[in-house]
Structure 1
């Protein structure tokens, strides 16, 4: 469970003669999240339904540009990730704020969070307004259905007993713990102290990351009569989000120290944070182990990995112009069914066409959207990587570093734009990883097919194009079991 480092220095936007600040119009991000007078939820529904009712405008956040830079190193090929020291920027559509204060006072967001009640609307969750604007931190509380932060102990007690918490991993920005059947990522934000040598994320960045996760969560497969134009289960399931404040709970400290004693943590001890530190807790499904640590059994599992990642990216491209932009082997989780068989399938829908793919009992989940680019419908969320030249200075011949440089050439440093070919270069990287692992069960014929597939990938402009490749033709079918290579071309 790793994350891309947060930007250390902010970029600059110019408006006329005004310079040296950046505006986060977070209200535009929230425009399409459904508002209703009654809190309705069911465990089978997505966390949010993207609708058309606007929310409140945010107070613009003006951030001065810093000249700080951060050294970016790669310990081993594909081992360490490039850091993103740029600023996530939001490009909003037009937005009017007339009368929105009344809308917010009278309504509440429709979610499927386990913390909600289905009986009566909860008006107390709406944070107080100042005029017609809310701060990013207030909007974050609103999206998380909270009137105020809670403690980490209160958040974790929702999913398990304190003594059962186990640390699973760590990243630049925080820690990952198993809590019952969920994985909880704890990320500090809005503090003044450094976290593992990095500047803490701001409320604006956390809010955008939450909303990006929710947009992808809304792609989860059709259930009941809710038929979607595009759907898949290839992105990690977001189950909950909590805004917390206060010291680390002793149960988390114990789990952290157990990990440290066994493996040696590279992160700062959680006791270093102040007693007033704020955290966001991302509660996710358990996707298994990352590809770096997961051993594929055979060539069929390798093809299953490639087709599921490709299909997931293709669906997200079609639905919301999604580009992951950091899909290294630490950001793909894999889990194997207890009794796998060659006839197991995964279903997805792309542009209204219902498709199936054979999985051979392997299930994948894509994680970590820190560098991702997405169009929510009213706002484009992206990270301006042009402010982080160190990201593109990794060692030559390193597959991950070379992939960042390929993205830079594709986008020409215009990171706001839609360039689905960035997904293709990560698929090329993924084929390289499979070849590099040199699984003993692979035959020379398997290697030749993978290398031929990699060569063909270079001619495609999107993951959707890649999905039509003959490499997947015997894995994919539509509801009438017709070969997908004919259906997608």
Structure 2
């Protein structure tokens, strides 16, 4: 134990006063951890975050354990020990205690110090999550949103079972509550270790956005994660107001955020604004539909080649579309450059909650055997049937690599375009799409489809 701390405790004993003291805080002060650099391109090295050698936490039983080496993101061992002592000591010195309690506190602190030295490799999931997000302490929600717009300009744009989405300036911020006991929309809140996996996965996919010559695989198809923050505290009134406005206009299916306790924790994903989801987006013509299919297929192919990636939940709510003036979009697949015409449409794939990825150091995935209701959707419903087909393909071995699951979602997407979306198309266009679907069913990966199928040939520039 620190001799300075021991002297302070002796002084407190002699003074017969055991009030909390700012002196103790200074003795045990933890320096602020420097923020992480940019998350795209080469700046983020996944090897610095995860490695199979040492498990630094135990995951929720629903998830595969992530064996993480996060030493470069964490405070030093000594800082962690001092922080641990500070937490323990702060709980010991609340109220007026007798001198016997002071002596007990010294012994407890000595034992705590010894314990932390012998078990210094362990880092709890919350600490790990803060570290990977470049924080030493949580932010407030208002602090995060204020970086992107004035609070009164926050607008809710969507919701899901596990979170809310708000537009802030040119970004969309997804708020996911974590680690609380309160049920959220009837579901148990996600745990820190679960979000840590999604955070690492999102940042890994960010690496695909680089077009450097050193990268054999790159694309901009997956939504860019601009920032990641751990937050704590109640919803700010500006967020509550935006939530209530959405509720009045659309009828929210989620619980009111006022129900969260004062110390509720969240992870905020700050994302590029990718546009409207396919369900609500109005396609103009067959050219746009074909552009959508080629971009999704090529993006999945690149991610397959780079990381054995499978999305596993690519329904029409997880594909965003926006129009811009770009005539083409570039992909690099195993070192080969491919440039496709876009018809002025760019797409972004979002939501990697169910996704599977091999980072080269670890395999991250969600064990869907723990969610049997996912496979009990209505018979004949295209989305529900796709989940069931995934189950057949994987045989419930969700850790394994089965790129055929990406093909299943491409088949779903063709069905959605044919059956659910209205746009200007000829009978020949429909025949071409049905022929494509027939050929697609025989492919075992998106990569096989993008390099082999003639459906995309007229869009290929290079």
Give TM-score, length-normalised by structure 2: 0.80
Whether the aligned pair in 2 keeps the contact of 1:380 and 1:416 (CA below 8 Å) is yes
Partner of residue 456 from structure 1, selected from 439, 454, 457:
439
Counterpart pick for 1:422 among 402, 405, 409: 405
Pair 1:175-2:164 in alignment? yes
1:201 aligns with 2:169: no
CA distance in 1, matches of 2:246, 2:46: 39
Provide the rounded CA distance (Å) in 2 between the counterparts of 1:101 and 1:365. Answer: 33
1:82 maps to none
Tell me the distance in 1 between the aligned counterparts of 2:239 and 2:388. Answer: 39
Alpha-carbon offset, residue 139 of structure 1: 0.5
What is aligned with 1:115?
Answer: none
CA offset digits 1:197-233 (Å, max 9, x no partner): 00000000010000000111111131xx553110000
| Residue 276 of structure 1, aligned match among 258, 263, 278 | 263
Please say if residues 286 and 423 of structure 2, whose CA atoms lie closer than 8 Å, have aligned partners that are also in contact.
Answer: no
- The aligned counterpart of 1:244 is 231
Looking at structure 2, the residues matched to 375 and 261 of structure 1 have their Cα atoms a distance apart, in angstroms, of 43
Give the C-alpha shift of residue 473 in structure 1: 1.0
Gaps of 5+ in 2: 1-32, 85-115
State how 1:67-86 maps to structure 2 within 5 Å: none
Note the alpha carbon deviations across 1:53-86, whole angstroms, 9 max, x for none.
Answer: 86795543376x7xxxxxxxxxxxxxxxxxxxxx
Distance 1:402 1:187, change over 3 A: same
Moved more, 48-57 or 267-276: 48-57
- The answer to whether the 8 A contact 2:63-2:365 is kept is yes
> Measured at CA, do residues 278 and 309 of structure 1 come closer, stay the same or move farther in structure 2, by a change above 3 Å?
same
Which of 271-280 and 155-164 deviates more? 155-164
- Per the TM alignment, residue 390 of structure 1 is displaced from its structure 2 partner at its CA by 1.7
Unmatched runs of 5 consecutive residues or more in structure 1: 1-36, 66-86, 108-122, 479-489
* Higher RCO, Cα 8 Å, sep 6+: 1
Matched, 1:373 2:356: yes
Which of 150, 169, 194 in structure 2 is aligned with 1:161? 150
Q: Which residue of 1 aligns with 2:390?
A: 407
Q: Are 1:262 and 2:245 matched, yes or no?
A: no
The answer as to whether partners of 2:295 and 2:347 remain within 8 angstroms in 1 is yes
2:64 maps to 1:89: yes
Take 1:432 and 1:263, find their aligned partners in 2: how far apart are those partners?
Answer: 27
Work out whether residues 221 and 348 of structure 1, in 8 Å CA contact, stay in contact via their aligned partners in 2. Answer: no
**Residues 342-378 of structure 1 deviation map (CA, whole Å, 9 limit, x = unaligned):** xx11001111111101101100000011110100111
Tell me: CA distance 1:425–1:43, structure 2 relative to 1, closer, same or farther (3 Å): closer
Of 305, 313, 325, the match for 2:312 = 325
Q: Alpha carbons of 1:358 and 1:102: their partners in 2 closer, same or farther (altered >3 Å)?
A: closer
How far apart are the structure 2 equivalents of 1:469 and 1:228?
A: 25
Structure 1 residue 90 displacement after superposition: 3.2
| C-alpha deviation, 1:50, in angstroms | 3.2
Inter-CA distance 38–174: structure 2 relative to 1 (3 Å threshold): closer
What is the deviation of 1:477? 3.9
Superposition deviation, residue 134 in structure 1? 0.7
Q: Deviations over 1:422-467 (max 9, x none)?
A: 0001000000000013535111101000000000011100000110
Query: C-alpha distance in 1, partners of 2:144/2:170?
Result: 14
Q: 1:270-325, CA deviations, whole angstroms, 9 ceiling, x for partnerless residues?
A: 10000010010000000000000001100000000000000000000000000000
Distance 1:103 1:442 in 2: 52
Counterpart of 2:342?
359
How far apart, in 1, do the equivalents of 2:248 and 2:71 lie? 52
Displacement, 1:141?
A: 0.4
Task: Report what 1:49 is aligned to.
Answer: 45
In proportion to residue count, which structure has more helix?
Answer: 2
RMSD of aligned C-alpha atoms?
2.7
Count of matched residue pairs:
394
Which residue in the other structure is 1:117 paired with?
A: none
- 1:104 is displaced (CA, Å) by 5.0
Q: Contact between 1:244 and 1:278, CA under 8 Å: does it hold in 2? A: yes
Partner deviation per Cα, 1:86-125 (whole Å, 9 max, x = no partner): x121365xx8x8xx96995569xxxxxxxxxxxxxxx999
User: Structure 1 residues 309, 280: closer, same or farther in 2, change over 3 A?
Assistant: same
How does the TM-score come out when normalised to structure 1? 0.76
Q: Distance in 1 between matches of 2:229 and 2:36?
A: 19
In the alignment, the residues of structure 2 paired with residue 423 and residue 126 of structure 1 have an alpha-carbon distance, to the nearest angstrom, of 45
How far apart are residue 384 of structure 1 and its match? 1.1
Is contact 2:234–2:260 with CA below 8 Å preserved after alignment?
yes
1:476 CA displacement:
1.8
| Alpha-carbon spacing, 1:53–1:233, altered in 2? closer, same or farther (3 Å) | closer
